[in-house]
Chains A and B, each alone.
Chain A
Amino acid sequence: MLHNKPYQCRLAMWALIGGLFFFGGQATAYETDDGTMKRRQQGILTGMPFMANVVPRTFVDDLGRKLYLAKEPNRLVSLAPSITETLYAIGLGDRVVGVTEFCDYPPEARSKPKVGYSRPNLETIVALQPDLVLAPRDFIRPDVLAKLEQLKIPTFIVEAKTVEDIASRIQTIGRMLGRSESGDRVAMELRRRFMELKARTEGLPRPRVLYVLNSQPLITVGPGSFIDQLIEMAGGANVASRAPSPYPRLSMEAVLAQDPQVIIFPVGTSEGISPGEQTLWRRWHTIAAVKTGSFHQIPSDLLNRPGPRIILGLEKLVEIIHPEQFAPFNSPPDR
């Protein structure tokens, strides 16, 4: 029956989709008198905004788990560098009692007790007596999470895939821990700088970018990876955008054919691009980036951590990809 009336069906489908968008729009935003759009306060159940005031201490995390907090958590364990940075950014550094071995920013975080990373030491966590554990969705192992639940340790899972996600998670964490104001402030600042950056790169030609995670074998970032998104946001065109996986081993043939204009190497805190690696790349002298010597390094922590410093990473990427837009970022904006 469906294939008998394809036209009507398609029409009905579009009507349905249109309706969804229409009602969806109705549910989350409304127009105020002065004509500006405002977001309605988010409750735990969409469509019942009043619930937000009725049950203020219940939060839903990114796994859809409900978490009820009777009182404001005072002893926090962070299981990701990005979460640690968020907590410090909203002024909660002194409440953090445990961090991962990779939490090196801000420097004070280094002196906090370490609990491990994707396979954290549960005994250490229990001994720290946290009243809230904040964990990233991508790296928390299901068995660890189950164990934490079994031990009745409140756990909140965070997942941020976009810059907007990052901003809204900062706000959520702020609300949850009684720092709504600073959470909102950090998030709004992040959004403002992001919009400014977007406005600046809009309409510019997009240089072809190769992001080298590893030279031999060549591993880069493809569609579905966070960094691929960041490159696009920074006004570049990732040469591996046709690759089938987020972290593909890219064929050198494809690189030569795509002819990247900018090659970016993520580096640790202090080391630069090693001379050996540069020599390796100089072999391919037909590539535009090699001809112009456009090799750049970027601190990998700035791009790998979906936290408040992501905007620094993005600005650095824009500096590299669009050097003509470089200067204004150094001086603070007038506003």
Chain B
Amino acid sequence: MAHDTTINTAATANRTSGFDIERSIVTHRRWLTVMVCLLCASTAVVIGSLRFGAESISYTNVVDIVLLWLRNGSARMESAEPNFMILIYVRLPRIVLAFMVGGCLATVGVGLQALLRNPLADPYVLGISSGAALGAALAMLIGAGTTIMAMASLPLFAFIGGLLSIGIVYRIAVSYGHLPVHTLLLAGVVLNAVFSALIMFITSIMDPNRSFGMMSWLMGTLLAPDYPALGALALYVGVGTAVLASQSSALNILTLGEESARSLGVEVERLKKIIFVTAALLTGAVVSVSGLIGFVGMVIPHAVRLFVGPDHRLLLPASALVGGMFLVIADALARTLLAPSEIPVGVVTALAGGPIFLYLLTRRKGGLAS
């Protein structure tokens, strides 16, 4: 369906792109339909998952508590029952966090896959995530005694780590004068190995009590953040996603090939830099709050592409929503399967994402190469 390339100029009237040729069958109406459907689905998933957790709270109780919260704010918390605390201060922020992290990873995946025209591209494969994790691990090592300091500096260190790894990968690859995809991927693989080794080194010299905690944090962990922290993260995520979304038309053209894109007036090298820095920013923010959560960035864009087509103006926001939903569901499983204990959510995403990916792969063999 989506792979029949037709030109629909009327559809793009409201989205000023500045390019002559639009490779798209995304009509205004279809965009709206898909997005409204996905938004409804996301809301349903978020509300539905409020019911699930280590402690069982019935739906009527959930509704009561949420209404109480909306009416009174947090002023009445002192007298509140534990269920109020659990729902409003543990479960809800965690679900929102899961949604943001999932959306972020999927968006970054879309951007990198478009840029490298390679279905394997993903923040993990390119070493951005491990770079960010290395930065975060360093922050933990330095700010050993003071958790608050470490908390504040984590996203910054993670961003610097991600940016550094992107910088190195880019430097290596660009020595050929341009940026060949295979060199880039190979450089990413090598860098990944080096960074993993460095992270292992850091855990080995840490206090064993602490390194144990860091290892399990690295496995992918969604904590219950307080609302200010959630707001700060939303800011990062909002800016990053907006930047990527603003480049979606250029990304569409880039899929025709670099030469063609260049001849069509896209500043390819500048576009690459924008995407890379944004990817490092988003990955850094996400890794600093959730450790390493794999597979979302690779599987979700593929799955979404199979259903809505390769046009990034729709693919990008749709992937963000689907990625968010996916991680909320994965985290609900992580929270409940072994309750009262939890499973690292990174384990769940890999176990759930792998089979989904294989299923989609065998169902539509041709669908993966966008």
Give the B-binding residues of A (Cβ under 8 A). 213-217, 219, 222, 240, 242-245, 248-254, 256-257, 259, 266, 268, 271, 274-277, 279-280, 283-286, 300
Give the residues in chain B near A252, CB-CB below 8 Å.
86, 90, 224
Give the residues in chain A near B150, CB-CB below 8 Å.
276
Interface membership of B189, Cβ < 8 A: no
Interface membership of B341, Cβ < 8 A: yes
Of the A-B pairs whose beta carbons lie under 8 Å apart in the complex, a sample of 6, sorted by A's number, is A217-B213, A222-B341, A243-B340, A268-B209, A274-B147, A285-B78
Which residues of B299-358 are within 8 A (CB) of A? 335, 338-344
Give the residues in chain A near B209, CB-CB below 8 Å.
213-214, 266, 268, 300
Chain B interface extent, by class? 35 or more
Contacts between the two chains (Cβ within 8 Å), count: 112
Give the residues in chain B near A245, CB-CB below 8 Å.
338, 341
Q: Are A276 and B340 in contact (CB under 8 A)?
A: no
Interface membership of B151, Cβ < 8 A: yes
Q: What's the minimum C-beta distance from A289 to chain B, rounded to whole angstroms?
A: 14
- Smallest Cβ-Cβ distance to B210: which chain A residue: A214
What is the CA–CA distance of A214 and B209 in the complex, to the nearest angstrom? 8
Which residues of B72-93 are within 8 A (CB) of A? 77-78, 80, 82, 85-86, 89-91
Q: Are A251 and B147 in contact (CB under 8 A)?
A: no
What is the CA–CA distance of A239 and B62 in the complex, to the nearest angstrom? 24
What is the CA–CA distance of A244 and B89 in the complex, to the nearest angstrom? 25
- Smallest Cβ-Cβ distance to B80: which chain A residue: A286
What is the CA–CA distance of A244 and B336 in the complex, to the nearest angstrom? 12
Q: When each residue 206-226 of chain B gets 1 if its CB lies under 8 Å from chain A and 0 otherwise, what string results?
A: 010110110011000101101
Interface membership of B53, Cβ < 8 A: yes
What is the CA–CA distance of A113 and B148 in the complex, to the nearest angstrom? 39
Interface membership of B54, Cβ < 8 A: yes
Interface membership of B145, Cβ < 8 A: yes
- Smallest Cβ-Cβ distance to A215: which chain B residue: B147
Give the residues in chain A near B82, CB-CB below 8 Å.
256-257, 259, 286
Q: What's the minimum C-beta distance from B208 to chain A, rounded to whole angstroms?
A: 8
Residue in B55, B86, B342 whose CB lies within 8 Å of A249: B342
Q: Are A244 and B341 in contact (CB under 8 A)?
A: yes
- Smallest Cβ-Cβ distance to B338: which chain A residue: A244
- Smallest Cβ-Cβ distance to B53: which chain A residue: A253
